[in-house]
Amino acid sequence: MAQFRLQGSRVLAVDLTGDSVKAKNGAMVAYEGEMTFKKRTGGGEGLRGMVTRRLTGEQMAVMEVKGHGTCYFADRASEINLVSLRGEKLYVESSNLLCTDSALRTGTSFTGLRGSAQGNGLFTTTVEGTGQAALVSAGTAVVLRVTPQTPLQVDPGAYIAHTGGLKQHFQAGVNFRALIGESGGESFQIRFEGDGLVYVQPSERNTIGGEV
Amino acid sequence: MPFNVLTSRMVEAQVMPGQTLFSQRGAMLAYRGDVRFTPSITGGQGGVRGMIGRRVANEATPLMTVEGQGTVMFGHGGHHVHVIDLVGDTLYVESDRLLAFDGSLRQGTMFLGSQGGVMGMVRGQVTGQGLFTTTLEGQGSAAVMAHGGVLELPIGPGRPVHVDPQAYVAHRGDVRNKLSTAIGWREMVGRGSGEAFQLELSGTGMVYVQASEEKL
């Protein structure tokens, strides 16, 4: 199975021994050994998955990287987070997905209103199975636990991904009227309830000087 | 005159009497002590010939000479800074990526088109980096800029490294580079993987790669 390592916080190193990974198109920055890069229509599920992605707009340009050696991936100097999946399902915005083990199945899932507020469409990408995945974020992401006793509200622009049995719904931030004018209509939150983990990035608009 | 890394985007250098430092013009952030900054028209050394060479090669990022006694802090555009210590070997780097370097290093310009024939010529067009590159040689340190952190990959005999031309920052040592293509029929029908061109570096040395495919 492909080995995922972090080389610093912004470069992902993947050790391959004849196996393959799926990665965001064009994300390779360097490699040692023998590698081949093949474009895929967008992450599995055959023809049906392809049609779904076309319809939903949750289309990701994915390439299959196969070979012997080490391949290095990076995406616009974004921070990289490793996620190990053991049978569970990860929900992630396709723009935040850098690389997945080819043993993982990818698909699309309906997100309801949340997606349209994010400008990411009504659908999100799902990653399921056993293996490693790498997510990119603007600034180092934090992993927040949600339990039935402690629900979590997240800014749609700061949300990256989640795992576990979580119900999400969209709520308007009625208590933040003062912000409405300034935030360009983004005074909404996603409320997560249930049991699981949510990955949150330090949203760029809240960080002085970008990605310090 | 080694550089002292203050943050990932800022370095500090000690300036001593009788020693010279070159830096990209306007890259000084702060200084202590008695330090003078003078525009360096020749852009380093090499006299008039070197100057003309750089002009022709379009490798003439405006430099300034830093002299005196004190400490100077350098940084530029919020880019990440990486310090490379040379021990008699040669560093190949685009001049616009050079933040500051030791005045004792010999500066030159190299025609990359001579490496790898036609593909060497194409390299400049693909990478947008031109056909010429700046060389620094000798004993001393250089601070180079990158978008995102810098990854150091050693190159050894039988162990070439392939780099995305957009992510390439610099390389050192006895290294040959050539542009390789991975274009097959799939690319022709619009199913490219986005990795059509790669820079293949072989020999003995080190290549520096940035964590981004964006130019400075």
**Closest C-alpha among A165, A48, A146 to residue A105:** A48
Residue A178 in tokens: 């003062």
Residue of chain A with shortest Cα separation from B194: A26
Residue B56: pLDDT above 60?
no
pLDDT band at A184 (very low <50, low <70, confident <90, very high): very low
Per-chain mean pLDDT for chain B: 81
Q: Over the Cα atoms of chain A, what is R_g?
A: 17
Count CB atoms within 10 A of the CB of residue B165. 17
Residue showing tokens 């520096």: B208
Specify the higher pLDDT residue, B177 or A96.
Answer: A96
Residue B147: pLDDT above 80?
yes
pLDDT at site A116? 46
Of the residues B5, B162, B187, the best mutation for testing chain A's interface (the one with the most A CB atoms within 10 Å of its CB) is B162
Number of helices and strands (H, E) in chain B? 3, 13
B21-38: per-residue pLDDT in tens? Answer: 999 988 999 999 999 999
pLDDT band at B131 (very low <50, low <70, confident <90, very high): low
Q: What is the mean pLDDT of residues B136-165?
A: 93
Q: Hey, are the CB atoms on B151 and A7 less than 8 Å from each other?
A: yes
Q: What is the mean pLDDT of residues A197-206?
A: 75
Burial of B198 (0-12, 13-18, 19+ CB in 10 A): buried
- B134 Rama class: left (phi>0) / alpha (psi -120 to 50) / beta: beta
Q: What is the mean pLDDT of residues A82-95?
A: 91
The pTM of the full predicted model, rounded to 2 decimals, is 0.81
Are the CB atoms for A28 and A103 separated by under 8 Å? no
Per-chain mean pLDDT for chain A: 80
B77-110: per-residue pLDDT in tens? Answer: 989 999 999 999 999 998 889 999 999 999 888 7
All domains in chain A, ordered by first residue? 3-200 (3.60.160.10)
Q: What is the mean pLDDT of residues B183-196?
A: 56
Q: How far apart are the CA of A188 and the nearest CA of chain B, in angstroms?
A: 31
Q: Hey, are the CB atoms on A25 and B213 less than 8 Å from each other?
A: no
Are the CB atoms for A55 and A78 separated by under 8 Å? no
Are the CB atoms for A188 and A154 separated by under 8 Å? no
pLDDT at site A98? 94
pLDDT at site A207? 34
Specify the higher pLDDT residue, A57 or B177.
Answer: B177
Instruction: Tell me which DSSP letter residue B159 carries.
Output: B
Are the CB atoms for A2 and A35 separated by under 8 Å? no
pLDDT at site A115? 46
Residue A88 in tokens: 């569970």
0.85 surpassed by complex ipTM: no
- Written in H, E and C, the secondary structure of B79-144 is CEEEEEEEEEEEEEECHHHEEEEECCCEEEEEEHHHCCHHHHHHHHHHHCCCCEEEEEEEEEEEEE
pLDDT band at A3 (very low <50, low <70, confident <90, very high): very high
- Give CA–CA dist B37/A164, Å, rounded: 59
Please give the angle made by the CA atoms of A179, A185 and A189, to the nearest 5 degrees.
80
Report which listed range, A40-49, B114-123, B206-215, is most confident: B206-215
Please, which residues have CB within 8 angstroms of residue A28's CB and are 6 or more apart in sequence? A35, A37, A65, A71, A72, A73, B164, B195
Residue of chain B with shortest Cα separation from A139: B148
Q: Under DSSP, is residue B9 helix (H, G, I), strand (E, B) or coil?
A: coil
Q: What is the mean pLDDT of residues B9-16?
A: 94
Residue B188: pLDDT above 60?
no
Establish if B82 touches chain A: CB-CB under 8 angstroms: no
- Give CA–CA dist B90/B84, Å, rounded: 11
